[in-house]
């Protein structure tokens, strides 16, 4: 009895896929290259030109005779896009009654699970937008204060604004940048640990992958010897 696997791959990967699956007992039964081209209309441009009859007695007579101002000519062009479908459809089979089938299947699943990587901690974004807004607001307040020192009389609302804006924006700037600094330092420390961990996982996986391939080659050789 056989089990089957079908795949669609890029033509440049065909040989690599055949060799990789052969390690786990898969044999290529059929391979077909598919290539299709199609054109899709993605836009239409209409260029309208009006040819007038001209001025003078003749032009006026023709416009009045035809009931329009001139001849309208439309040039329609289509913007197209070429869509290309290019892949290789492959069909593989593997004997389920072979002696080492169960072990080959187990090793294949382990191999394609891959390394157990950890995700990196996202790095926080700098509070740039708020900083720009606060800077502009503070600059306006400084200019307003300068006008006050020049002897101009200020309205009560102007005094309130000049007091409230620094009181609100400056503490918020300190809070936002302190929070950003704390989070960025934490992310840097954690990502350094995660990077070291992922490197160890990669090395362990590469070692185990080589062991899996070697064992699969030995199992396939035993299956061939039993035929």
- The two tokens of residue 103 are 């072990």
pLDDT band at 43 (very low <50, low <70, confident <90, very high): confident
Number of CB atoms found within 10 A of residue 192's CB = 10
- pLDDT averaged over the chain? 83
At residue 181, the pLDDT reads 94
**pLDDT top residue among 201 and 50:** 201
Let me know: does 2 contact 94? Beta carbons within 8 Å: yes
**Position 51 pLDDT exceeds 80:** no
Helices 128-149 & 156-226 angle (0-180, nearest 10) = 170
* Residue of 222, 223, 213, 164 whose CA lies nearest to 21: 213
Q: What is the DSSP letter of 54?
A: -
pLDDT at 155 over 70: no
pLDDT band at 73 (very low <50, low <70, confident <90, very high): low
C-alpha dist (Å) from residue 149 to 60, 145, 152, 156, 164: 74, 6, 7, 15, 18
Name the burial class of residue 26, with classes exposed (0-12), middle (13-18) and buried (19+) by CB atoms within 10 angstroms of its CB.
buried
Enumerate long-range contacts of 72-75, CB under 8 Å, 24 or more apart.
72/48, 73/48, 73/49, 74/46, 74/47, 74/48, 74/49, 75/46, 75/47, 75/48, 75/49
- pLDDT (0 to 100) of residue 11: 92
Q: pLDDT band at 56, cuts 50/70/90?
A: very low
Sequence-separated (6 or more) residues with CB below 8 Å from residue 11: 33, 86, 87, 88
Beta bridge partner(s), residue 41: 80
Residues 89, 34 contacting (CB under 8 angstroms)? yes
Spatial separation of the C-alpha atoms in residues 113 and 205, rounded to whole Å: 10
Question: Mind giving me the DSSP string for 177-197?
Answer: HHHHHHHHHHHHHHHHHHHHH
pTM more than 0.95: no
Q: The tokens of 152 are what?
A: 């101009």
Residues sharing a CB contact under 8 Å with residue 177, sequence separation 6 or more, in sequence order: 127, 131
Distance between CA atoms of 141 and 114, rounded to whole angstroms?
A: 59
């Amino acid at each position: 009895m056989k089990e089957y696997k079908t795949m669609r791959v890029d033509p440049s990967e065909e040989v690599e896929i055949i060799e990789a699956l052969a390690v786990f007992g898969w044999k290529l039964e059929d391979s077909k290259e598919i290539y299709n081209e199609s054109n899709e209309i993605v836009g239409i441009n209409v260029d309208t030109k009006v040819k007038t009859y001209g001025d003078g007695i003749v032009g006026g007579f023709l416009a009045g005779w035809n009931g329009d101002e001139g001849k309208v000519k439309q040039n329609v062009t289509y913007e197209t896009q070429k869509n290309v479908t290019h892949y290789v459809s492959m069909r593989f089979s593997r004997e389920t009654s072979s002696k080492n089938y169960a072990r080959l299947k187990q090793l294949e699943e382990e191999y394609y699970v891959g390394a157990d990587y950890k995700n990196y901690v996202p790095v926080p974004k700098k509070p740039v937008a708020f900083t720009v807004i606060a800077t502009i607001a503070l600059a306006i307040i400084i200019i307003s204060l300068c006008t006050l020192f020049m002897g101009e009389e200020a309205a009560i609302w102007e005094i309130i604004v000049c007091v409230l804006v620094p009181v609100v924006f400056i503490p918020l700037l300190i809070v936002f940048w302190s929070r950003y600094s704390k989070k960025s330092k934490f992310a840097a420390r954690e990502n350094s640990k995660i990077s070291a961990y992922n490197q160890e996982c990669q090395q362990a996986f590469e070692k185990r992958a080589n062991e899996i391939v070697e064992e699969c080659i030995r199992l396939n050789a035993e299956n061939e010897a039993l035929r």
